[in-house]
Chains A and B, each alone.
Chain A
Amino acid sequence: MTALAAPAAVRAAPRPGGGGGIRGANLTWMALPALALFLLFAIIPLVGVLALSFTSWDGIGVIRPAGLASWRTVLSDPGLPHALWVTFEVMALSWVVQTPMSILLGTFLAGPQRYRAVLSVIYFVPLLLSSAAIAITFKALVDPNFGLGAGLHISVLTQDWLGRPGLAMGVLIFVVSWQFIPFHSLLYQGGVRQIPVTLYEAALIDGAGRVKQFFNITLPQLKYTIVTSSTLMVVGSLTFFDLIFVLTAGGPGDATRVLAVDMYSTGFQAGLMGPASAIAVILVLVGLALALLLRRLGGNGTDSQLEGA
């Protein structure tokens, strides 16, 4: 496998598409199965969502073209700006909480001490649980009547965690962080490992302490990882459904009703498939806009990601 270490030295000029195909050989057929499946179950539905948003359908009967009626319903519903706001709230808060924590954790875990490796083994476990499992666990844990706080008789822990809007959002962010900080800290750990030791040694000689080293070397060197991780986090948070649906069902009231939950509820509970499709289109547009924005901010790099789907 050491042959792979060679490419850095051997390849002089970067070439688009590394392997360099045999000119003339048409390998398109190899990609056809993937294309077919992707077209059928992703692209066509994507187009379909747009098309459905111009219809009115209750899920049981006939699909009737309805022009802009569904769009008008959706755009005039105050629930939509609220859902957009909640979605951005979740996105921003989860970034603010997760990123510093993950950077710190990842940097720490990149250290050479043995016990840090043991720690990271344990830290990783939350990522293995399904969102549904995590939501169910925390829902039971914070129950003010039958949960941990009530059992331990600690009154500050027996708040109406999922019943008050602000607290519910807080719990949601906490649970999201609990689930995904392990993942992002792994990314940062990898990123930190790639920082040349020489930089640190030089700083040491200049008399820089740990904190200075962190801010002047580690953080700037992590820029690329920060962009990757942030992209994953932000676009991923758009797709949160399972966790929120099971934890709060969008509640209390509509305090945690993000776009995806709004879409499900409008379509499958209220039976308004047309407006639900309009909401879905909005979701797609927001996702696209975010991805492009982040690409612009972060320069050329990895593409955006879906997490927790």
Chain B
Amino acid sequence: MDPRTTRRGFLGLSLSAAALGTLAACGGGQAPTQTGAGGSSASAPAGGGAAGAATYWFLSGQPGQGIREDSVKRFNAANGGNAITPTEFQNDAYKTKVKAAIGAGQAPTVIWGWGGGGLREYVQNDQVEDLTDWFGQNAPVKNRLFASSFGAATVDGKIYAMPAETVQPIVLFYNKTLFDKVGAQPPQTWTDVMNLVDTFNKNGIAPFSLGGQSRWTNMMWLEFLLDRIAGPSVFQNAFEGKTDAWSDPAVTDMLTKVQDLVKANGFVKGFSSITADSNADLALLYTGRAAMMLHGSWTYGTMKSSGGSFVSGGHLGYMNFPPVEGGKGDPSNTVGNPGQYYAISSKATPEAKETAKKFFSTTVLDDAEVSGWVKNGGVPIVQGADAKFGTGGDADFLKFIYDVSNNAKTFAQSWDQALPASASETLLDNIAKLFQLSVTPDQWIDNMNKVTNK
């Protein structure tokens, strides 16, 4: 390339840069949501095309997907055809996709989510409807749900989402057959856990299955350990942005214990490349390659359907996370998702919003849906749902979940859902590195303090 033309080329570039102005100038001052609530192309299910037609995005994966789809079908049947158009996405990609769609002005009418920090971000950007008044006018809808579920739906005192679906504490699952095989008992304390790790490794069985690439699965370990060691106050401080909340000695204790577990080969080989979306972690438990697994209660349904006779034959054991000796946390505490949350996009057409609200009041968690959840091992957040558990095969598990959720002194929300997106991403990143043993507890604490300090 002739040096003269190069220079000319660059000159031309800088001229065009100056002349054209910056993209920020074009885009600044207005949110990029100009395509309007109606959505631009008929085939893309965004916003709401025909009057009143609403769109609804949620997670894929059975059994939840099927139950949600059934609810939509019932609503559509009672409300003329295609009132609501559903679309499903995988978990790990869902969070990014919803945000991108909202940013592009193509948010679905009904936005499925986990509440907490994610919901807060939507609220701060005026992307979701304030439902406080609507709940005021529709008291029966509000009162039949678990009161505790509204916590994650509330931002600055106002309710921005409808709590729905099931309460999902994190459970320590185990394979009873493998325990019998090595003659061991489920762990009652943390020391038991470490001993079991040795026992199972000696017998060529992976102690714990883990979908490490998804990272939020690793996070469950930290959540429980910290709570058992010090109670919920430490994370609460971090969440509130107190300076150096993570520098509490309990955090160092927790991080060290996690790394000890990793160093003792507590997790299945290859855990860092297993994703939770693929359900490979569940497969390891029900095919007998791993003895235990710390995971959400929603996996019960998947294990039941994909695991052959694993669940129906009574080989699946479950318990709350064991206490840590000398820990201050109440052993009844649990962490997880106190519910799932349906928000309504503020950019949808008024008709679409009405459709969504009608969906909330008539079909969400109606009897049919409640039965659906119960049948698949989930406890809906409806008062008196335990009457429906019956005595069938899943009744024990359902009762267990119900008791754990009800009796928990504190039911803390998953950290990555409580924190805002950028902090949560740093958290997950550092957790991944922690499990890789590539960051020390002190470094972890420093990194986290940097993002949560106000």
Contact = CB atoms under 8 A, between A and B. Distances in A.
Direct touching of A and B (C-beta under 8 Å): yes
Interface of A: 39, 43-45, 47-48, 50-52, 54-55, 58-65, 79, 139, 143-146, 158, 160-165, 168, 248-249, 251-255, 265, 268-272, 295, 303
B269 A160 contact: yes
Nearest to B434: A253
A47 B22 contact: yes
Given A63-B27, A143-B270, A51 B425 contact: no
26 contacts: A39-B16, A44-B23, A45-B23, A47-B16, A48-B24, A50-B17, A55-B24, A58-B125, A143-B270, A145-B280, A145-B289, A158-B269, A160-B269, A160-B270, A163-B271, A163-B272, A163-B273, A165-B438, A252-B272, A253-B272, A265-B425, A269-B425, A270-B422, A270-B425, A271-B425, A303-B1
Interface of B: 1, 13, 16-17, 20, 22-25, 27-32, 95-96, 99-100, 102-103, 121-122, 124-125, 127, 212-213, 268-274, 280, 284, 289, 421-422, 424-426, 429, 432-433, 435-436, 438-439
A160 B272 contact: yes
A104 B13 CA distance: 42
Contact of A47 (B20, B28, B289, B435): B20
Contact of A60 (B27, B99, B213): B99
B418 to A, nearest CB: 16
A61 B272 contact: no
A145 B438 contact: no
Contact of A269 (B96, B213, B271): B96
A173 B109 CA distance: 44
A140 B422 CA distance: 31
Given A48-B22, A55-B24, 20 more contacts: A39-B16, A50-B17, A52-B23, A60-B121, A60-B122, A139-B273, A143-B273, A145-B269, A145-B270, A158-B269, A161-B270, A161-B273, A162-B273, A163-B270, A251-B273, A251-B432, A252-B272, A253-B435, A253-B438, A270-B421
Given A59-B103, A249-B213, A47 B271 contact: no
Given A48-B22, A60-B127, A249-B213, A268 B100 contact: yes
B304 to A, nearest CB: 21
A48 B273 CA distance: 35
A62 B31 contact: yes
A132 B154 CA distance: 41
Contacts of A48: 22-24
